[in-house]
Amino acid sequence: MATVAVFGANGATGIEVVKACMARGHDVVAAVRRPETVTGATRTAKINLSDHASLVAALSGVDVVVGCLGHGGL
């Protein structure tokens, strides 16, 4: 199966995407600003969209990226 990074995994849409990916047997990396708010993902990655290094680290080993970012905080 694939490793899927879900950006915004702790929002309403992101939570459902994480659940759907996990139910299909994928590994999920929840890429979020506050990792302590995430449940259900294989692993979490703390990201800052303005920090290139945090994005590179979050995407290490990832096959697919799903963006579920909202407008809040951007």
pLDDT band at 73 (very low <50, low <70, confident <90, very high): low
> What are the tens digits of pLDDT across the range 5-54?
999 999 999 999 999 999 999 999 999 999 999 989 999 999 999 999 99
Give the pLDDT confidence score for residue 70 in this predicted structure.
83
Specify the DSSP class assigned to residue 58: H
Proportion of the chain above pLDDT 70, given as a percent? 96
pLDDT band at 74 (very low <50, low <70, confident <90, very high): low
Sheet holding 43-46, edge to edge: 43-46, 27-32, 3-7, 64-67
Angstrom distance (rounded) from CA 61 to CA 59: 6
Give the pLDDT confidence score for residue 72 in this predicted structure.
65
CATH T-level assignment (fold) for domain 3-67: Rossmann fold (3.40.50)
Tell me, yes or no, if the pTM score tops 0.85. Answer: yes
